[in-house]
Amino acid sequence: MTLLKITRSAIGLCAVLVLLLGCGKEEYPSVDLFTWKAKVDVTAKAALSVNIESSGGASGAEGSAKVVDNDFNTKFLINPFASNFYMQLAFASPQQVASYTLTSGNDAAGRDPKDWKFSGSLDGTTWVDLDTRTGETFSGRNLTKTYSFKNKVLYKFYRISISAVGSGSLFQLSEWRLIEVPEEQQ
């Protein structure tokens, strides 16, 4: 058999294989087998601001930075609390959020948030209320409670406006986290 015949045979064999096996044709599954969608804590992507700061400043021992440091053993405390108090998280790019968590402080249940609303904004000026709670209580110290709602909109700003605490004139909170939730899990 000459080299030419061998080459022709090889080409012919490959042509048959292409027809039989779809050799060289790329095919993709019709379902997203490799897509993994889950709830994600996006707090670290945002910048915190508050309208009432701890007496020691944002980076102080009980400053506002402690409410988003992902450490349940540190807390943000203000004295005195006022009913117009809010905490805000601003994202560099619009971000979907459909759940948030609040973790109570290590002591003094009276300082826990009781009444609040959670809002989103595209521009930091016009706000849309996404979740409202009244009469909430935390049955333990350093206890995390999760609050969820439906939201498909990507807002740039999220704000929690806390209008009442359990009792007394102080407010404290160990942690406030924002969670991105895939639509099918809302």
- Is there a cis peptide before residue 80, judged by omega within 30 degrees of 0? yes
Place of tokens 């930091």: 124
**Least distance to Ca ion from the beta carbon of 47, Å?**
16
With binding defined as CB under 5 A, does residue 74 bind Ca ion? yes
| Stretch of residues binding Ca ion (CB under 5 A), selected from 25-33, 142-150, 159-167, 173-181 | 173-181
With binding defined as CB under 5 A, does residue 136 bind Ca ion? no
Q: Closest CB to Ca ion among 41 and 69?
A: 69
* C-alpha angle 112-92-132 in degrees, rounded to nearest 5: 35
With binding defined as CB under 5 A, does residue 177 bind Ca ion? no
**Least distance to Ca ion from the beta carbon of 128, Å?**
27
Going by DSSP bridges, is the β-strand pair 175-180/40-41 parallel, antiparallel, or unpaired? antiparallel
Q: Considering only CA atoms, which of 108, 52, 59 is closest in space to residue 82?
A: 52
Distance CA 177, CA 84 (A): 21
Binding Ca ion by CB under 5 A: which of 7, 9, 56, 71? 71
**Least distance to Ca ion from the beta carbon of 74, Å?**
4
With binding defined as CB under 5 A, does residue 175 bind Ca ion? yes
Residue 53's CB is within 10 A of a number of other CB atoms, namely 14
Q: Which residues form the interface with Ca ion (CB under 5 A)? A: 66, 69, 71, 74, 174-175
